[in-house]
Structure 1
């Protein structure tokens, strides 16, 4: 049962998230030989003010 936990900056449309979930599911099924109903994807949207890289918040970049 492959499970993916993906962190993204907030702001993507529902259509973009649907396309992403579909693509990851199809690729996982092809590469691992599993059924689509066994693939789980959790999208966790994060505000840029709550994510930092190299000592800086993304909202300040």
Structure 2
């Protein structure tokens, strides 16, 4: 039973999360040739102040969340 874990620092709407989870599941099933109901996906949303690039948090960097 495959488990896909996704770490995401940008908040997303419920609709976008559903779209992402469905697309990840469908793509994995297609590539690996397995049934959709055997795949598990966990989406971890990390607060931007807990994620950094080059020692600067995303919250402090001014980086656009859509990037």
Provide the TM-score with structure 2 as the length reference.
0.84
Q: Which residue of 2 aligns with 1:39?
A: 39
List structure 1 segments (4+ residues) > 6 angstroms apart after TM superposition: none
Find the aligned partners of 1:57 and 1:44 in 2 and give their Cα distance. 17
The Cα RMSD (Å) is 1.0
Task: Indicate the SS of the match to 2:49.
Answer: helix
Query: Which residues of structure 1 form unaligned runs of 5+?
Result: none
Larger proportion of strand: 1
Give the match's secondary structure for 1:12. Answer: coil
The aligned counterpart of 1:58 is 58
Q: Confirm whether residue 9 of structure 1 aligns to residue 19 of structure 2.
A: no
Gaps of 5+ in 2: 62-67
Aligned residue pairs total 61
Measure the CA separation in 2 of the matches of 1:47 and 1:40: 23
